[in-house]
Structure 1
């Protein structure tokens, strides 16, 4: 049975090691490639394609430039992975599906990938995903399902849809894993696998060259080993120069904990870890307020019948629905249901969204952030999540519940680990309204410092 590996160090620590000559980009690339290709590890399931030769060439070029004093950004020479829905020039973008296996190769990099390359990041490969990003559990019958790093002897789901990205991150196969988030697809797997993930305001990062699930709700964000890592990569993805976050102290932070449905029916492990985190923050001087957040309580109506994503996914896929036999049945059946969403229903939902966005902004305005568990449960086993269609739907909805509302409200949100060492991973979500990205990251960094390091699993420490 595979065992989890320690994560890589943070981007900040690795950048210092490169600057001080304690390592090279080539050495870092060789390390992650060794982890990816280790037959006893999860690399064969976490990655759908590995670009070893190209990564080595780019690492050597980065090292040569560094020797001449050229360092393009704080992530110069650091190995990263990209989710299989992003175009990489010369490669087929399969989006986790057998349907696209014969599609023509991409002519150019997706905008997000191009920005990472321009910053000096080294792309080592493409990570596995739920087919067409349509699911929060993390299962894929076409490419296999990578095992969650926690409790591998049992075999638990990694979360989706960025399943390979989260496992790659947790197992030290990448310094940053690029993902997408339509209803929690960065934050759910990050939370279940015990790493940090950030979903920006949707328009912050261009989605050109990313296979769409929902043009309205899709966003592009990083999974990484610290909040600061996420902030650095988020700035690059947004086309900004990376700069330090505004330093904040936990003492005096005003944090809103929502009452109602999103806090109901939490697993005992989740309730305990989140409650302990709140206690630690309160003892450190944070001001916690519990109150109703009206749009959160209405969230079930936002996704009823498939919602915005269901309607838009149907538009993307309707030309292929005569080939449903090539889809994962759990995905194809849900996409086909979009045919029943009428134009009037979609327009009404868009108008409802505009109202709800305003309500969320008003509710969040008096506070520094809204905080809640990222996912209501710990990772179920692969067997129990996929036992039947009904089981899959039940677990999928449970995993999507808390994270997905932020996408509908056009907000931004960070998840960071809050569980004890060796316990089931639990995510602590820090949320803000449209455009509050950098401030949410700064609040998250303060919370992360107050809670202490939470490396995945039993007290693991980073390499280097």
Structure 2
């Protein structure tokens, strides 16, 4: 499947045209692979926009989708919920949507998500759950919370899936669907016009089909130029964190990760194993509920009073953890995080990037975690496993990218390259090199 760069080159060379590519995207959007992917489609508007597109623009009139929590002018912003389905329409596009449009992208629809972005599984009891594209025999979870955005990219219906990442909501579905998801340092991309989960941890970012497309999407969303460099992989110093990140790996994930490390070493990568004992502090730091619970409760408390019965009970359970947090506990949390970040950054300073499995498991079946109290224990077990590795990077205020590292015939496995805040360009540089090595 061609990525954005290859398709744009074909357009410029006259091998296709934007209208043909848009009709292909719409046909895939309407296919069975995209069942439950969209909460709203805009195909007629997309066809009209393509007629006005310029092939020399960065996105060349090609399709992108937007997670349901971003404002689109003239539409409500339900964020995967039923209680906001008939909310007042947004007056203007969110800044992220506006920037993608200004770069020549054409929005084809709003994508399904975990209600209010509060889980890494991707199950939605209101709009249905889109199935992972990797297995047509057993419907598997898409990962969340940016579930529909991931399937839109993985199925070929879009070149960019705009989403958000609070604890892994871009990287988890990217890993489970075998695509690329880049979570930049949060401050680099604006959250204007995006319904929040946690104002401290939320990051506006995207999923794509390749690392080079991730660079393009990030440059557009952040309005900055990436300077990844072109030095060989052997130039970089990489770390593997042995504790927590490698715990309880499913055999297929462990095999793919070890195979990937061997491939990178054969390419010349210098990889050193390290420990981060500070990871043990996270349970104590977040003991009172953490940022997502406190900040989501602050946003939802009045809506819960009016319409709580319309929420997904699993989402309500997590939001209500924030109801009991006291002001001094929230302030203590801010200070504890700042201290924790400083200690982690000191350990990571000698390295250009850290190499980890994105998540420790492959995608389980939708049936095993579908809505229903009898499956809650399994749902929360899977959710905790999926969030474990990627959420550490959010707590670090860091940046990370997930790219596929499985081989043909295996369920998708993600490789996560990450570091502390503002190391985005180095992480992307290593990712470009790693992707090249893994595709040989």
Q: Aligned pair 1:33/2:33, yes or no? A: no
Aligned to 1:317: 300
> Distance in 2 between the 1:306 and 1:11 partners?
40
Q: Which residue in 2 is equivalent to 1:275?
A: 258
- 2:175 and 2:386 map into 1 onto residues whose CA distance is 10
Show the counterpart of 1:105: 89
Structure-2-length-normalised TM-score: 0.96
Give the corresponding residue for 2:245.
262
Q: Is the 8 A contact 2:5 2:213 kept in 1?
A: yes
> 16, 23, 37: which one pairs with 1:46?
37
Q: Which residue number corresponds to residue 405 of structure 1? A: 392
Q: How does 1:359-370 map to 2 (within 5 A)?
A: 359-370=343-354
Give the Cα–Cα distance (whole angstroms) in 2 for the partners of residues 420 and 177 of structure 1.
24
Alignment of 1:41-440 (within 5 A): 41-62=32-53, 65-66=54-55, 71-72=56-57, 74-241=58-225, 245-322=228-305, 323-386=307-370, 387-440=374-427
TM-superposed deviation, 1:305? 4.1
Q: After the TM superposition, which parts of structure 1 deviate over 6 Å for at least 4 consecutive aligned residues?
A: none
1:411-463: CA deviation from partner (whole Å, max 9, x where unpaired):
0000000011120111000001111112211111111111117xxxxxxxxxx
8 Å CA contact retained: 1:112, 1:207: yes
Displacement of 1:302 after TM fit? Answer: 4.2
The structural deviation recorded for 1:254 is 1.2
> How far apart in 2 are the matches of 1:442 and 1:202?
19
For residues 265-304 of structure 1, give each alpha carbon's deviation from its aligned partner in whole angstroms, at most 9, with x where no partner exists: 1111111100100011111111110111233343333443
Aligned equivalents of 2:82 and 2:388: distance in 1? 28
The TM-score with structure 1 as length reference comes to 0.92
| Residue of structure 2 in register with 1:10 after alignment | 3
* One of 6, 11, 21 as aligned partner of 2:14: 21
Who is 1:458 aligned against? none
Question: Alignment RMSD, CA only?
Answer: 1.3
Name the CA distance, whole Å, in 2 between partners of 1:333 and 1:417: 33
Instruction: Summarize the Cα distance change of 1:358–1:413 in structure 2 as closer, same or farther, 3 Å threshold.
Output: same
Aligned residues: 436
Deviation at 1:336, TM superposition (A): 1.7
- Per the alignment, in what secondary structure is the counterpart of residue 191 of structure 2? coil
Q: What's the CA shift for 1:100?
A: 0.3
* Aligned 8 A contact 1:81 1:178 in 2: yes
Work out the CA distance in 2 between the residues paired with 1:166 and 1:296: 29
Query: Contact 1:82–1:179 at 8 Å: present in 2 too?
Result: yes
| SS of residue paired to 2:35 | helix
The 8 Å contact of residues 294 and 360 in structure 1, kept in 2 or not, is answered as no
The unaligned stretches of length 5 or more in structure 2 are none
Which stretch has the larger CA shift, 103-112 or 253-262?
A: 253-262
Contact 1:150-1:424 at 8 Å conserved across structures: yes
Deviations 1:356-399 (A, max 9, x none): 22122212211110110000111111122235221111111111
After superposition, the C-alpha distances for 1:216-266 in whole angstroms (9 at most, x for unaligned) are 00001110011110001100000125x673113222321100021221111
Task: Please state how far the C-alpha of 1:149 moved relative to its aligned partner.
Answer: 1.1
